Amino acid sequence: MTRLSVNINKIATIRNARGGNMPDVTKAAMDCERFGAEGITVHPRPDERHIRYSDVLAIRPLVKTEFNIEGNPIPRFRELVLKVRPDQVTLVPDAEDALTSDAGWNTLANRELLTGLCSEFKAAGIRVSIFVDPDPEMVRGAALCGADRVELYTAAYAGQYAAGREKAVAPYLEAALAARECGLGLNAGHDLNLDNLSYFIRTIPWTDEVSIGHAIICDALYMGLENTISAYLKEIRKK
């Protein structure tokens, strides 16, 4: 069954807008789990504009489900991951000034780097997922690097969904089949929401995990966090 990992970056963004500790990011992580989330995701960036490195250290011992840290593996990030030892690290090639993640890895061109990272993190007992575009060659490249999973970058699927969901999901299905053939686990994330989530999961039911943050927090403004997480779990489990 596909697991829901809630990305709490946007909660930290609201806190940072005013300073202080409102909302409390640590409490939010625990509440998300209490409301049914099956994992917590954080994406610390070098400028700490949302999740701070100190948040990651505070949250880690409190997470009872799965803890996923994602980000560009610059030296400081690598040090944090090895110190915290999350259940999963997701390697994302975002630039330091990126507003949000906007592309997956070229796993062929970056094979030496990614192979070294996979070896380093797996030796520490951390599952490694590589963020890729829906391209079977990039998926196969991730397998060659020693990854445990890939995370498919789903922005294009979400953007094209309204115009034709079958066409929008087709490259993702092809990439997901390649992942299964390579023995890789499969995650997905970026712009998934209550409108497009269920169809994606029904088309690719072997998806291990979806990581969703922005849409959940947007919906929570109207529905409340507990009701929103429940609604996303319902969409994931819809037959």
Largest CA distance in the chain: 48
**Catalytic member of 33, 38, 66, 70:** 70
Extract long-range pairs of 12-20: CB within 8 Å, 24+ residues apart.
12/50, 12/51, 12/52, 12/55, 13/49, 13/50, 16/49, 16/50
**Catalytic member of 33, 190, 209, 235:** 190
Assess whether 43 carries a catalytic annotation: yes
Q: In 85-224, where does DSSP find H-type helix? A: 111-123, 136-145, 155-160, 165-182, 197-203, 214-223
Assess whether 48 carries a catalytic annotation: no
What is the rounded CA–CA span in Å between residue 105 and residue 144? Answer: 13
**Catalytic member of 33, 38, 43, 50:** 43
What is the rounded CA–CA span in Å between residue 43 and residue 53? Answer: 9
What is the rounded CA–CA span in Å between residue 190 and residue 210? Answer: 9
Catalytic residues: 43, 70, 190
